[in-house]
């Protein structure tokens, strides 16, 4: 096995998803912290490796891979002792892929980043009501996905769980998950919190939540 290097920033949900995957696979790696606010990702050396200048980025020997979804699927496909985290069965894999695309396009981009970009980079302090409604819609979808299942893509833990829990746990700073309204989602979160490597998500998420609260945001009435 070659040397694996993960570039990231702890509060980032996508970085946390990769960390959980690496931990689940019991893969040793070097972690390089990238100061996004200091624009370290815009250095010539970083852009040469990743023209999109995003984190997480993974180096595996001479190969550079970015986007958390691509990274976690790559890691399981290459290093997994079995395919349980990313099934080879085409139908099971399609369900996992759907959840990953859901996380990417709906949960992260339309719900989380649509808020945090304004808070952290544009200096806006008031969150529009429609952005909060987008978070609620995410919770509604997740609750429906979990109906009759322990995990987000069925009855077995997959990389889709790592991807979604990292972002869902961050969204709770804006809208808490009501156990009465979302019993399936609540049970799923509690199940994942029991994973021996859940701290790979929890530590960074606490930093994320503290950072968001530090903006003193309010929600449009």
Q: What is the pLDDT of residue 72?
A: 99
107 and 201 both lie in a single domain: yes
62 and 94 both lie in a single domain: no
Quick check: pTM over 0.85? Answer: yes
Residue 211 belongs to a domain with what CATH number? 1.20.1050.10
157 part of a folded domain: yes
**Which segments within 10-125 are labelled E, that is strand?**
30-33, 57-60, 63-66
- Annotated catalytic residue 166: no
Kindly name the residue from 12, 163, 166, 169 that is annotated as catalytic. 12
Number of folded domains that form the chain: 2
Residue 21 belongs to a domain with what CATH number? 3.40.30.10
Please give the Cα distance from 7 to 30 (Å, whole number).
9
List CB contacts of 78: < 8 A, sequence separation 6 or more. Answer: 60
Per-residue pLDDT tens digits for 125-139? 999 999 999 999 999
Per-residue pLDDT tens digits for 45-87? 889 988 989 999 999 998 999 999 999 999 999 999 999 999 9
| Residue 9, helix vs strand vs coil | coil
103 and 212 both lie in a single domain: yes
Whether 83 contacts 181, CB under 8 Å:
no
67 part of a folded domain: yes
Could you tell me what percent of the chain has a pLDDT over 90?
A: 90
* 19: containing domain: 4-79
């Amino acid at each position: 096995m070659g040397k694996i290097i993960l570039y990231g920033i702890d509060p980032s949900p996508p970085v946390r998803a990769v960390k959980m995957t690496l931990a689940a696979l019991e893969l040793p790696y070097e972690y390089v912290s990238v100061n996004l606010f200091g624009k370290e990702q815009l250095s010539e050396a970083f852009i040469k490796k990743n023209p999109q200048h995003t984190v997480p980025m993974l180096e595996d020997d001479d190969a550079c891979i970015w986007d958390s979804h691509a990274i976690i699927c790559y890691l399981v496909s290459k290093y997994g002792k079995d395919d349980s985290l990313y099934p080879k069965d085409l139908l099971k894999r399609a369900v996992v892929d759907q959840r990953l695309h859901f996380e990417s396009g709906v949960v992260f981009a339309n719900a989380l980043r649509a808020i945090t970009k304004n808070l952290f980079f544009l200096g806006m302090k008031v969150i529009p009501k429609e952005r909060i409604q987008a978070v609620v819609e995410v919770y509604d979808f997740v609750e429906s996905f979990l109906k009759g299942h322990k995990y987000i893509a069925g009855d077995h833990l997959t990389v889709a769980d790592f991807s979604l829990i990292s972002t869902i746990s961050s969204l709770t700073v804006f809208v808490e998950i009501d156990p009465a309204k979302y019993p399936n989602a609540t049970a799923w979160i509690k199940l994942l919190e029991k994973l021996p490597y859940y701290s790979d998500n929890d530590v960074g998420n606490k930093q994320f939540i503290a950072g968001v609260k530090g903006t003193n945001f309010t929600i449009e009435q």
